[in-house]
Amino acid sequence: MIDRRSFLRTSAIVSGAVLAGVAPVRAADAEIEITPREDGPGISAHLYGQFIEHLGGVIYDGIWVGKDSKIPNVGGIRKQFIDDMARIGVPNFRWPGGCFADGYHWRDGIGTKRPRTYNYWQASAPAGVDLTESNNFGIHEFMHLCRATGAQPYLAANMASGSPQEFHDWVTYCNAQAGTASLADERAANGDREPFGVKYWGVGNESWGCGGDMTPQEYATLYRKFVTQYPAYAPKPFLVAVGPRGHQKDMDIGWTNSFFEAMQGHRSPVDGLSIHFYTDFRNTAEKIATFNAQGWFDVIREGTRVEEVMKQHWGIVEKFDPSHHTRLIVDEWGVWYKKGEEIGAHYLLSQPLTLRDAVHTAYTLDIFNRHAEKLAMANVAQTVNCIHSLFLAEGDKFVRLPPYYVFEMYRGHMGARQANLQIRCEDLTAPTANGPATMARLSGSASTKGKSLTVTLANPSLDSPCSAVVKLSIGSITEGRGQILTHEDMTRGNTFAHPNEVKLAPFAVDVRAGRAEILIPPRAIVAIELKSV
């Protein structure tokens, strides 16, 4: 907890004011002004989406433990996973991949006799690790997960080894009313009479790479074949086209341009353009939990590039679609470190993340909130046991990683209206390989729901607290409360043995004279909820 006296001691001079016992009174390091906007874009809850793939330990063990498991489960799905996902109001799950999706045949995952099949990720498994696909988790199990957590399904159709027919059959199986189509009757016979109501469909995944190694022109042709005869069962679909590998140096601008050029004069709708943006440290020596100040800032700064990537691709979309029917979907994002620190051989790409990755998460979600008008959805890759995870799970062990808490802290933004946030403060200096670089001392976003405001802020400094006065451009703040995520050790994360090292704590918000005063310690993320008149 931060008391008012320490707040005053750590700040710079306030004009003219003198407070008994503390002289001279100092002003805040930052002034934060919020302007609620009645016409502000809605921040779709879907920006807080998740991505789960049949990859290593994500589905099998992370989520699906099986109905006969001793691990507490609901119909085979790990209970703690359901509870923790419901707790943060998970809006959607993207499934079944990723690269896996373009080799996946949905019929393998229904019924009582399921084949064992090849899984794309088998090729990356260490010797002796069997990643053969059991197909125990299929569309019914996935939909039960969605229903149990309140999430919407977002399915990726197989374009590389599948066909338009297979895609259309899957749509019919999911969305037709029982009694109207044989595939819907088959779904009912398999236990789910009510249609699944799948709205979000990804048409392929990374078709420039593992999803078929196509040119944008080839992809555009295939996309049209896949969507033209889409069976029009309710709900109206939201069709997502494969977009760029945004983390490439050139942001893959050429892909987006050529794809839309090839779509000109055709009738097929593109509701969403998928961007993949990894904060890609795979080819560096950066370690997950052993790093210095430069490593801390390198990861955070590199993550902020997603903002420029979104702006660039939005600009291209605008050229072809000035009315902005097509929205962006960042359906894979996260920090991806070099291999070698997995929790076990089976758990490909699992990463024991730290506070640094939580700060990266906060920056990313704040960027998404600030660009809410461009974005229809975003999905962190991947929820459990893979890359930028919220959890690690192994047998009966389960731990929340620091990024989980950021999703919890940012819940107030989901479905809220974006508000303008102006932060006036000095820059800070970050060490980089090329010498010192400046970056903003605070990053954040703000939103409103009626008279309630949510403000989220991150202070990336390793040594300087940042005092701030938060005010409204019109109106007064009447109440405030907050939560904080921080640790004195920047490299700290949570492990199975020590699951509560980095966790949420209450954060003091001092409301007086219509403003809120806060003191954000270094290496911290705060979320404050304010009431106003």
Catalytic residue set: 206, 332
Tell me the closest approach of the beta carbon of residue 156 to ligand AHR, in angstroms. 9
CB neighbour class for 74 (10 Å; exposed up to 12, middle 13-18, buried from 19): middle
Query: Residue 119 interacts with ligand AHR (CB under 6 A)?
Result: no
Question: Which is closer to ligand AHR, CB of 40 or CB of 97?
Answer: 97
Query: Residue 525 interacts with ligand AHR (CB under 6 A)?
Result: no
Query: Residue 331 interacts with ligand AHR (CB under 6 A)?
Result: no
Tell me the closest approach of the beta carbon of residue 37 to ligand AHR, in angstroms. 35
Q: Which of residues 190-249 bind ligand AHR (CB under 6 A)?
A: 205-206
CA distance 197 to 200: 9
Q: What is the amino acid identity at position 276?
A: H
Task: Return the number of other C-beta atoms located less than 10 Å from residue 510's C-beta.
Answer: 15
- Pinpoint the alpha helices (H) of 52-150: 79-87, 139-149
* 3-class secondary structure, 24: coil
Size of the site for ligand AHR (CB under 6 A): 10
CA distance 232 to 177: 12
Query: Residue 98 interacts with ligand AHR (CB under 6 A)?
Result: yes
Question: Which is closer to ligand AHR, CB of 171 or CB of 387?
Answer: 387
Q: Candidates 381, 392, 409, 430: give the one binding ligand AHR (CB under 6 A).
A: 381
CA distance 398 to 85: 13
CA distance 273 to 504: 35
Query: Residue 357 interacts with ligand AHR (CB under 6 A)?
Result: no
Which window, 39-47, 94-102, 297-305, 501-509, contacts ligand AHR (CB under 6 A)?
94-102
Which window, 95-103, 352-360, 432-440, 463-471, contacts ligand AHR (CB under 6 A)?
95-103
Cα–Cα nearest to 335, from 292, 306, 313: 306
Cα–Cα nearest to 131, from 54, 52, 51: 54
Tell me the closest approach of the beta carbon of residue 225 to ligand AHR, in angstroms. 22
Residue at token pair 């197989």: 158
Residue nearest to ligand AHR (CB): 98
Q: Candidates 40, 57, 91, 97: give the one binding ligand AHR (CB under 6 A).
A: 97
Site string for ligand AHR, 44-63 (x = CB under 6 A): ---------x----------
Largest CA distance in the chain: 81
Query: Residue 99 interacts with ligand AHR (CB under 6 A)?
Result: yes
Q: Candidates 29, 133, 332, 408: give the one binding ligand AHR (CB under 6 A).
A: 332
CA distance 519 to 468: 6
Which window, 7-15, 75-83, 92-100, 476-484, contacts ligand AHR (CB under 6 A)?
92-100
Pair of tokens at residue 64: 């699906």
Q: Candidates 361, 382, 385, 532: give the one binding ligand AHR (CB under 6 A).
A: 382
Tell me the closest approach of the beta carbon of residue 260 to ligand AHR, in angstroms. 21
Give the helix, strand, coil percentages of the chain, each rounded to 5: 25, 30, 45
- Pinpoint the alpha helices (H) of 264-344: 293-303, 305-320
Question: Is residue 164 reached through a cis peptide bond, with omega within 30 degrees of 0 on the bond before it?
Answer: no
Query: Residue 387 interacts with ligand AHR (CB under 6 A)?
Result: yes
Residue at token pair 């300087």: 464
Q: What is the binding site for ligand AHR (CB under 6 A)?
A: 53, 97-99, 205-206, 332, 381-382, 387
